[in-house]
Amino acid sequence: MDELTQILRHAAEQAAGYRRSLSERPVARPVDHTALRVAFAAPLDRPGTDPRTVIDELVAAAGPGLVGSAGPRFFGFVVGGALPAATAADILTTGWDQNAFNAVLSPAAIAAEEAAGGRLKELLGLPATASVGFVTGGQAANTAGLAAARQHLFAEAGWDVGRRGLAGAPRLRVVAGEERHATVDRSLRLLGLGTDCLRPVRADDRGALDTEDLRRVLAAEPDALTIVCAQAGNVNTGACDDLRTICGLTHAVGGWVHVDGAFGLWAAASPATRHLVDGVERADSWACDGHKWLNVPYDCGYAFCSRPAVHADALSYSASYLTRAEATPAGGADYTAESSRRARGFATWAALRELGRDGVTELVDRCCALARRFADGLSAAGFDVVNEVALNQVLVGFGSDARTDAVVQAVQEDGTCWVGATTWRGRRLMRISVSGHATTEADVDRSVAAMVRQARRP
Ligand SMILES: *Cc1c(COP(=O)(O)O)cnc(C)c1O
């Protein structure tokens, strides 16, 4: 066997062994950060090290600092664990080492993005004509969508923002819910719009945008160019904004609707939850993640835009050495803020093939049902579930803020499962997110038991 084959097999076996261990090992363990640094602190030897030794060293050094977020009982943030075919496709992506800049550099990478992008639009209920940029995640997808919005609104006002920049440009406001994801603010900073352009809209009891307040905010500055940033999937409660109403109100004032649907857009993939994102197809741009609910390995988000030409105008570039024939449609890097880039389409394509339409629907339904199981179990034990569990997020109080923080910490240390804490409506709460394909009812029951055990300790 040649050296590359040997070492790839070895790495794959190490990865598979690690994944197998996740169902039984403590989800998180106390980490000695100093020891971890020391383990990685090998000097840069002049002669270098043979590859097999390098990989063994890496496995040994990283092991104590790996978090079992790919396992069945990790309920922190909103992360899933990568599906088998998507994981293997990602390993192939690395092996093939393609540059997905364009169809000259990697015809296969671009074809996979096109095919997977088409299936994603079907599942998410988006227009078939929308463009799709395969980006690094929700943050990048929000930046891409807001860049397209900026491009379009200024162009309509006779201002070429790509050439003239923002100094002296017409006034633009970004109307967004007060419970928007923090990445929206970072996108605005990166795009030069700055966070002062934000006009916050109140959230209703569920954490969704209050459309009456939106009416008030929109009416306040009738002459400003307007981006409305809606949300499918409140990061705390999972609530989805009333997209149909928001699109109607925004378009009536000539505005652009961007939907941050990093995880919540997947509600569209199931008949049981589709109503939560009713009207989604009317928006102008959408951000969604592959590496959350679709369970694709990290480095995977999608930036969709209803106007492909605007999308490419906002982000693409050209240079004399680029050989994309004029006839080639835009794709690849044209829809992202990157140049050389990973061939992200393969892993998404594999995840969608592995699950099929029914599998995606079932994954969404199962995670929602498991979230309700968490809520029922903890309510039955006398704890306070404070959100309406419409999707995959559950917020739980265990008494005072200090008590809730202590319970969350005790649950993390117990190691049966991992959950984080959040502040919502001024109250400290345990935040449970069910997004992984590997989680079963038994995992939830075991986790609820661990939570109750810790919460009842004096
Ligand atoms: C996770 C998340 C983001 C950011 O996505 P990344 O993939 O972490 O970049 C943006 N918005 C919402 C609503 C999210 O849940």
pLDDT in tens, 6-46: 999 999 999 999 999 999 999 988 899 999 999 999 888 88
Question: Does the pLDDT of residue 322 top 90, yes or no?
Answer: no
pLDDT band at 323 (very low <50, low <70, confident <90, very high): low
Q: What's residue 317's pLDDT?
A: 87
The CA 78 to ligand 1 mean position distance, Å, reads 8
The span from the CA of 72 to the CA of 23, in Å, is 6
Phi and psi dihedrals of 418, rounded to 5?
-130, 125
Nearest atom in ligand 1 to 142's CA: 10
The CA 182 to ligand 1 mean position distance, Å, reads 9
Q: Which residues line ligand 1 (CB under 6 A)?
A: 78, 137-139, 181, 183, 233, 235, 260, 262-263, 289, 301
Q: Is the whole model's pTM more than 0.85, yes or no?
A: yes
Q: Which of 281, 299, 279 minimizes the C-alpha distance to 290?
A: 299
Q: Are 274 and 126 within 8 A, CB to CB?
A: no
Q: Whose CA is nearest to atom 5 of ligand 1?
A: 138
The CA 236 to ligand 1 mean position distance, Å, reads 12
Q: For 205-250, how does the pLDDT look when each residue is reduced to its tens digit (9 = 90+)?
A: 999 999 999 999 999 999 999 999 999 999 999 999 999 999 999 9
Nearest atom in ligand 1 to 183's CA: 10
Q: Whose CA is nearest to atom 10 of ligand 1?
A: 138
Q: What's residue 216's pLDDT?
A: 98
Percentage of the chain lying above the pLDDT 90 cut: 93
Question: Does the pLDDT of residue 325 top 60, yes or no?
Answer: no
Q: Whose CA is nearest to atom 12 of ligand 1?
A: 262
Q: For 446-457, how does the pLDDT look when each residue is reduced to its tens digit (9 = 90+)?
A: 999 999 999 999
Q: What's residue 318's pLDDT?
A: 78
Q: What's residue 252's pLDDT?
A: 97
Q: Are 299 and 100 within 8 A, CB to CB?
A: no
The span from the CA of 384 to the CA of 444, in Å, is 17
Q: For 281-293, how does the pLDDT look when each residue is reduced to its tens digit (9 = 90+)?
A: 999 999 999 999 9
Q: What's residue 324's pLDDT?
A: 53
Q: What's residue 166's pLDDT?
A: 96
Q: Whose CA is nearest to atom 8 of ligand 1?
A: 138
Q: For 413-444, how does the pLDDT look when each residue is reduced to its tens digit (9 = 90+)?
A: 999 999 999 999 999 999 999 999 999 999 99
From residue 311, how far is each of 148, 246, 307, 338 by CA, in Å? 5, 22, 6, 13
Nearest atom in ligand 1 to 291's CA: 7
∠ CA 400-401-402, nearest 5°, is 90
How much is the average pLDDT of 121-146?
98
The CA 138 to ligand 1 mean position distance, Å, reads 4
Half-sphere exposure of 41 (CA within 13 A, CB side): 7
The span from the CA of 341 to the CA of 332, in Å, is 9
Q: Which of 292, 392, 422 most suits a substitution to test ligand 1, by most atoms within 8 Å of the C-beta?
A: 292
The CA 368 to ligand 1 mean position distance, Å, reads 19
Number of neighbouring beta carbons within 10 Å of residue 59: 16
Place of tokens 């590997």: 438
Number of helices (H) and strands (E), helices first, in the chain? Answer: 14, 11
The CA 197 to ligand 1 mean position distance, Å, reads 21
pLDDT band at 1 (very low <50, low <70, confident <90, very high): confident
- Among 86-90, 138-142, 326-330, 339-343, where is mean pLDDT lowest? 326-330
The CA 262 to ligand 1 mean position distance, Å, reads 5
Q: For 365-380, how does the pLDDT look when each residue is reduced to its tens digit (9 = 90+)?
A: 999 999 999 999 999 9
Q: Which of 78, 135, 139 most suits a substitution to test ligand 1, by most atoms within 8 Å of the C-beta?
A: 139
- Chain centre distance of CA 277: 17
Which ranges of 211-278 does DSSP label H, i.e. alpha helix? 211-220, 243-252
Nearest atom in ligand 1 to 138's CA: 5
Q: What's residue 327's pLDDT?
A: 55
The CA 8 to ligand 1 mean position distance, Å, reads 32
Mean pLDDT, the chain, integer: 95
The CA 260 to ligand 1 mean position distance, Å, reads 8
Q: What's residue 71's pLDDT?
A: 95
